[in-house]
Amino acid sequence: MHRYRFILFRPLQFIPVLFGISIITFVLVRLIPGDPARILLGTRATPTAIAKIRAQYGLDDPMWMQYLYFLKNLAAGEMGKSTLYKIDVLRLIATRIEPTLALVVMGVVLALLIAVPFAALSARRQGGLADHGVRLVSTAGIGFPSFWLGAMLILLFSIRLDWLPVSGYGETPVDKLQHLILPGLTIALSLSAVLTRSLRAGMIAGLSSDVATAARARGMPENTVFWRHVVPNALVPTVNLLAVNIGWLIGGTVVVESVFAVPGLGQLMVRGIFSRDYMVVQGVALTFAVATVLINFAADIITVALDPRIKL
Amino acid sequence: MSAQLEIRGLSVVYRDAGEERELLQDISLDLQRGEILGLVGESGSGKSLLCRTVIGLMPSRSLTMTAGTVTLDGVAIHDTDMAGLRGRRIGMIFQNPTSHLDPVMTIGKQIAEGLRHHKRLSAVAAKAEAIGLLRQVGFPDPGRAYGSYAHEFSGGMRQRAMIAVALACDPEILIADEPTTALDVTIQAQILRLLIELRDRRGLSIILITHDLGVVAQSCDRIAVMRAGRIVEEGEKRALLADPRHPYTRQLIDSHPTMTHAGDEPAPHPHDRKPIFEIDDLRVHFPAGGGFLTPKREFQALKGVSLRVWPGETVGIVGESGSGKSTLARAILGLTRITSGQVSFEGHVLTRDPKATLKHLHHGAAMVFQDPFNALNPRLTIGETLAEVLRTQGETPAAEIETRIGELLDMVGLERSYATRRPRSMSGGQCQRAGIARALAVNPRVIIADECVAALDVTIQAQIVALFRDLIARTGLTLIFIAHDLAIVRTLCERVVVMHHGAIVEEGPSARIFARPEQAYTAALIAAVPDIDPDRPLNGGQTTLQQESAT
């Protein structure tokens, strides 16, 4: 089990990484032009009122001091008060994290459900009609922007066919699931295009590999050769590709949540940016960064579990 | 008595984009029950293709069997259920067990897979049977081996696992495609012994594909010699080796660097001048594992090696894989970081003044690599490769580079027209000649050849060895010849250095080492080399096996 020992040690490496992330997000957020106090109070605010707000939120202090306050608050479990929502950002994030999390999981699961069979179909009939079709669609899939794809899906499934809700997020679990199908599919379609291409290449290599030849030589039926020997070997690089794409996927939720009006972190982020709500933008960016780090960690664990040769 | 497996008039044709070539021509061959048939030939002769055709696993879709029949116990097998036959009645093992075993599936599951499919055994019964098989092929702890993966074992144990996989469903015929080529000699001896033992115990019939006549002489009953898609000669082992009819068979036998000719070794070199290389207590350690917050470990590739090489001498460095012979070569050329110790080349001390010594080394020493294809830049013609070296070295005036390239090609026996060819359009032997020409381009006083004939066919090996001998005689070159093949070293080198686990275990004049090895390890290594004379049986390997289980 020493191959899994990195699970204990790796989190120690997160400390400097998270430290760096916190500095970068902190500085970047403050590069956004505009004065949050002025935006909060509106255009007719008096200079004294603005000054008062600035003092109240610590906006007059030098940036390094603001950063130290930020760290101190973080240690106490607070991310600072949102200028827009008037509550602590951490509590705000806690209420918004569920739809986003569900959306990402839905996106990845749907993407795999699409990618594995299509890649298999394509690889096993390499050069055939199905293969050309899958390659065409997956190449096109990479090209479609998700805001357009999302709008098209709404048009087809919600407005024309009236099968699924147009936008928003439900109350009961079933209701929520229904609301997540279209945004999840939007994410999955772009992601599965990338995954299909990688899986197809891995499967094609696997089908003519020595491992497959040896399995055929001991009389295994072609289906067994494929699903038991070729696919597991092709999955290893795909998991890594998925992990690399996670950052891009999280960025994608920002757009998709806006298109489908899902009340998640992405939507919160967009609102935060428009209202110069530093604390919200910073908090959400930090959450996204932490999520990316954790997901990559999870991908490493999966890779080690899939491939017994890998030691981390 | 009718043969168990009969191949009659088999032809295979390669068709691609209008091109058509006959790769196997009218092959007829019999395999008797319980015999080991050696199928011998050089690369490209079609021996692997023949066996793949028999079990219906052609390596490419462009290949078709155009004529002939294969019958197993009188039944034509291409009419029957091929997949039911494979593994069940005909098993196959391959040259490279590492790439043929599934890296992400345990060895045990790969054995059990066949048992469950062909014999419809339950999971529990298949596991019990698989563990029994692993014990039979020599795993000391079969229960643990069952749950282990291929990468956890050495090359020899992987080949044993591969054999267990192939024998799982008790096939009558085993096709072994170069099963020992990738293994060390001592391990090769063990695997060959295992195959013979399995034949005796199970009444197995074996087709053993190999390029090494020594392997055939030691393990087979009958030999079939293949060349360019045809069987040129076939017969009982002793008769064929003693009295080969076909000129190609004779050429193969003559090229074999056999161990029997004692007294052919070159005379020891006079050590009258200052050594060209002086190596003292050289240690090279590589970091192995460890990392952030985990303890650093290291692998000791060289554990205090001391060696002198005199100008004009031919020194052979032999040892099994992992013995540190390549690391030694790389370290003395400054290609690997030296942990401690001293290396000096013609009085320049590499470890004290690396910059000047490296410059001196680049002008005085050159290396020839194992894989002739990959050691040459595929995008450059041979002429461009040589010109690059000549320009970098800067001793040949630009106007004379062309002439010099011609001279170099002459020296290595390549036609001058090869200057415009790229490695892809050349054979392995031609590429290796080009590699040697590149090494000669700097006018070196020393050439270090690292397993430079290991990837070549025997007849080509013999040519390259002859080329080296000729170059040494003409130019007084110093040669450090690293090889795992003791027979070649014996005929080429004046002195032999035997390495094991990163240390020199024995060194001395070739004649003495081969006639009276002082160390048990050296003796085991020499004894394990399969001799082309069937009456000098394999007796090596046993000692190393005992040593291995003792450690």
> Residue B338: CB partners within 8 Å, gap ≥ 6?
B282, B283, B284, B331, B350, B351
pLDDT (0 to 100) of residue B545: 40
Q: Are residues B233 and B283 in the same domain?
A: no
pLDDT (0 to 100) of residue B550: 35
Search chain A and give the residue with CA nearest B96.
A210
- B123 lies in some domain: no
Q: Which of A209, A218, A221 sits opposite B166 (nearest CB)?
A: A218
Strand order across the B365-368 sheet: B365-368, B446-450, B478-483, B314-318, B495-500, B503-509
- B45 lies in some domain: yes
Interchain contact B162–A (C-beta under 8 A): yes
For residue B531, the number of C-alpha atoms closer than 13 Å in the C-beta half-sphere is 16
Predicted confidence band of residue B425 (pLDDT cuts 50, 70, 90): confident
- B308 lies in some domain: yes
Segment 30-69 of chain B within 8 Å of chain A by CB: 55, 57, 59
> Mapping DSSP to helix (H, G, I), strand (E, B) and coil, where does residue B294 land?
strand
Q: What is the per-residue pLDDT across B501-550, written as a single tens digit (0 to 9) for each? A: 899 999 999 989 988 899 999 998 888 888 888 777 766 444 434 344 33
Decide if pLDDT at B159 tops 80.
Answer: yes
Q: Are residues B456 and B316 in the same domain?
A: yes
Contact B151 A306 (CB under 8 A): no
Q: Are A255 and A186 in contact (CB under 8 A)?
A: no
User: Worst-scoring range by mean pLDDT, B246-255, B256-265, B305-314, B433-442?
Assistant: B256-265
Contact A219 B104 (CB under 8 A): no
Contact B100 A9 (CB under 8 A): no
The closest alpha carbon to B129, from B183, B165, B84, belongs to B165
Q: How many residues does chain B have?
A: 551
* Mean pLDDT (whole number) for B29-36: 92
Q: Which of B83, B105, B289 sits opposite A221 (nearest CB)?
A: B83
Q: What is the CATH number of domain A96-306?
A: 1.10.3720.10
Q: What is the per-residue pLDDT across B75-102, written as a single tens digit (0 to 9) for each? A: 888 767 787 888 889 999 988 888 899 9
Q: Are residues B357 and B422 in the same domain?
A: yes
**What number of C-beta contacts closer than 8 Å exist between A and B?**
93
Q: Are residues B281 and B250 in the same domain?
A: no
- Angle subtended by helix axes A89-124 and A129-143, to nearest 10: 160
Q: Which of A213, A224, A306 sits opposite B104 (nearest CB)?
A: A306
B300 min Cα distance to partner chain A (Å): 20
Q: Are residues B157 and B19 in the same domain?
A: yes
Of residues B456 and B525, more confidently modeled: B525
The closest alpha carbon to A210, from B154, B59, B160, belongs to B59
B151 min Cα distance to partner chain A (Å): 7
Q: Print the domain residue range for B430.
A: 277-289+298-518
pLDDT (0 to 100) of residue A215: 92
Percentage with pLDDT > 70 across chain B: 94
pLDDT (0 to 100) of residue B382: 92
pLDDT (0 to 100) of residue B540: 45
Contact A213 B57 (CB under 8 A): yes
> Mapping DSSP to helix (H, G, I), strand (E, B) and coil, where does residue B315 land?
strand
- Tell me the three-class secondary structure of B150-191, residue by residue: HHHCCHHHHHHHHHHHHHCCCCCEEEEECCCCCCCHHHHHHH
* Mean pLDDT (whole number) for B253-279: 77
Phi then psi dihedrals of residue A192, to 5 deg: -65, -25
Q: Where are the domains of chain A?
A: 96-306
Domain total of chain B: 2
pLDDT (0 to 100) of residue A26: 82
- Residues of B in Cβ contact (< 8 Å) with A308: 103-104, 149, 151
Q: What CATH number is associated with residue B196?
A: 3.40.50.300
Search chain A and give the residue with CA nearest B54.
A217
DSSP letter, residue B209: E
Contact B294 A308 (CB under 8 A): no
Long-range contacts of B230-237 (CB under 8 A, 24+ apart): B230/B25, B230/B26, B230/B27, B231/B27, B231/B28, B231/B29, B234/B29, B237/B38, B237/B534
Contact B83 A229 (CB under 8 A): no
- B536 lies in some domain: no
* Pairing label, strands B340-345, B277-287: antiparallel
Look at the block and give the residue holding tokens 């036609």.
B415
- B135 lies in some domain: no
Low-confidence ranges of chain A (pLDDT < 70): 1, 40
Residue from B102, B117, B151 whose CB has the most chain A CBs within 10 Å, to mutate: B102
Exposure pattern of A108-133 as b/e (b: 16+ CB <10 Å)?
A: bebbbebbbebbbbbbbeeeeeebee
For chain B, the first-to-last Cα distance in angstroms comes to: 49
Q: What is the per-residue pLDDT across A280-302, written as a single tens digit (0 to 9) for each? A: 888 888 888 888 888 889 888 99
